[in-house]
Structure 1
Amino acid sequence: MNFDYTPKVEALREKLLAFFDAHIYPNEAVFTAEVERNRQNGNAWLPTELIETLKQEARAAGLWNLFLPDSERGAGLTNLEYAPLCEIMGRVPWAPEVFNCNAPDTGNMETIERYGSDDNKREWLEPLLQGHIRSAFLMTEPEVASSDATNIQTRITRDGDHYVINGHKWWSSGAGDPRCKVYIVMGKTDPDAPRHQQQSMILVPADAAGITVHRPLTLYGYDDAPHGHMDISLDNVRVPASNLLLGEGRGFEIAQGRLGPGRIHHCMRLIGLAERAIELMAKRTLQRVAFGKPIAEQTVTQERIAEARCMIEQARLLTLKTAYMMDTVGNKGARGEIAMIKVVAPNMACQIIDWAIQAHGAAGLCDDFPLAYAYALARTLRFADGPDEVHRNAIAKLELARHLGRDAAARVDMPVTRS
């Protein structure tokens, strides 16, 4: 495995780093102030003028749709090539949208491109790729343990040339944005089919009759406006049968294709977030004096900084290995590595951000620094795209299967779960 940056990636990295220095870091307080101003004016969900302006700058710089591999619509980067770029974008939580590389839109765009019809692509993919609209992914449900996606109860029922959808979803990320125009909904088309052939995925216009957005859900008190994670019910929502992706009973197959890249993108961004945290921790402890010397000279601080650096480097190498395997043997062949990094990266980020908060004292708890929000995000990602426990279970099964023979290992599936 060779993890050296190609000339193309090195050039994009330099562009991205320069863009962050010129446009992202100087505008962190501006973004927060604009969202707060919208909130005080009665609508926190308005898109920010800042991000819309920066999108034009990013497009002009050739930093647009970098996530989309093997496509004339994207940058044509492999997972391994995209990894260091995604890491940079993860240093500031709102930054990926500036480059049209934000979740859940990236996963939804890949899904529509891979599994949608030509009409689906014209109606939804093209405006998403242009950044004109946004999307949401509706999988998790409040009434069941969605860590086992076969529990999902939403029904997708054929009725002539249409499907009728009934169900209750929550943690529907992105659905708070008024630009969100389409949902990808996972539900059961045949509850009597074999366990992994009951589910399907279908495209649902966000303004379809029968959809009710009940409330935004908060992450440790953050509403994530204007993005949002919404509680949504679908009551007799009728959509054309042509909106079904790939075919009835193929929802798990689609999920395997969608969630693999999504999981590793989360991990890439988390490494960037952890890098930002260790940077802030180092600067803060060099500036502050306690008990007669800089906090950076306290042994406990040095131990934590050293351990943080080790943890970041280990997580990055595992992420790059995972990306390499996805490129060379496919998502299924890399399922063990995808599960491992999905456990390692959020836990690594949580610990490092926690140490950075501790180093900042009480200041680390408020929004004068980006650490409290960073911790909320990192902690959330121990659930999103599957909880730690489910991924550990899959890792253990793969390890045990190695001692039972190749056929047994091949039967171990990547968990299909969102939260």
Structure 2
Amino acid sequence: MPVPKARSSVSYPTTTAPAVLVLEDGSRYVGNTYGALGQTLGEIVFATGMTGYQETLTDPSYAGQIVLMTAPHIGNTGVNDEDQESRRIWVSGFVVRDPSRIVSNYRAQRSLDDDLEAGDVVGISGIDTRAVTRHIRSQGAMRAGIFSGDRFGLSDSEQLDLVQGGVQMRGRNLSDDVSTVEPFSLPAVGERIGSVAVLDLGVKTSTLNYLAERGFEVLVLPQSVTAEHVLSLKPSALFFSNGPGDPAASEAHVRLLREVLRAGVPYFGICFGNQLLGRALGFSTYKLPFGHRGINQPVLDKTTGRVEITSQNHGFAVDMPIEGISESREGFGRVEVSHYSLNDNVVEGIRCLDLDAFSVQYHPESAAGPHDANHLFDRFRDVVVARTAAAGAGDAK
């Protein structure tokens, strides 16, 4: 039986056209054009995943950021329609060392370069990404710009002025940019256990699919909805998704969450949803020096004692003690940190002890892997099933 050939008919164009990456501290890295030509500005961050570049590019949590991939070879397996995590590429810019010259995967439909050009994503290749990563780890995430084509011809000072005049991520609200405009729903897969109202702050397709597979009818709502509207739907639970921006700039979402929690609706949040739960409970958030981004982040689950390797993408974190029980400053009772990072002790999960609410800082759906934390969707399902059963028993009495 003949061995099927890998798809390799799509080749990347080779180019020697110059491009430059400029950081706000004046650092400059000259390389080659990659993707679209032109100019782009954003906060530069690095992602450590060796796989899953398509999921990274289409993750709305990366809106407003220039993403540098630390893995040296990017684009080997091309892109396809199945692995899209949202309707488009969200990164402001893309930095790689060595783009793959060919696509070699039976699932590939296009080259990565095709999608970058179609999405008007300005990138750069051929630079020492390890050196840039070490610089960011030392100096912290900062504003940056990529200049190619006609914009490469700007003077060094003109390019630097544009970068330093860019928007800071601190204090920035990007929810309206990434959220759905109109509400939509997904039917439950198998036996329906109830409905979950999902506040779309940049939700990924995998998240919605995993919720539906747990028996939830998934009601996806724009980020602009009110607490009154959410409660009028009589959902069995509320879910806040991942998303970009500074949680301190999302007070409307914090107020919405407080009202729904006070109504007794169970809650699960991931990533941005974890930060917003922390703020709803009365704790503050802060900006990390260079954030956690990648699919190899070790986290300790204090409830089980297990170490889980997780997928993460966040530049802000909740400020609360990782040991002991704290009291919610907003009157929601006792709270504890359920998970924390084994790299730097950053809060990675919150559990409320006096109401049905919990959250994690990472991405348990993790389409590109790992799947250590996928069981959290089961935990959420169990909370809702138990709540429904208890309500039924109370009605019977």
TM-score calculated relative to the size of structure 1: 0.23
Considering fraction of residues, name the structure with more strand: 2
Give TM-score scaled by structure 2 length. Answer: 0.23
If each structure's helix is expressed as a fraction of its own residues, which one has the higher value? 1
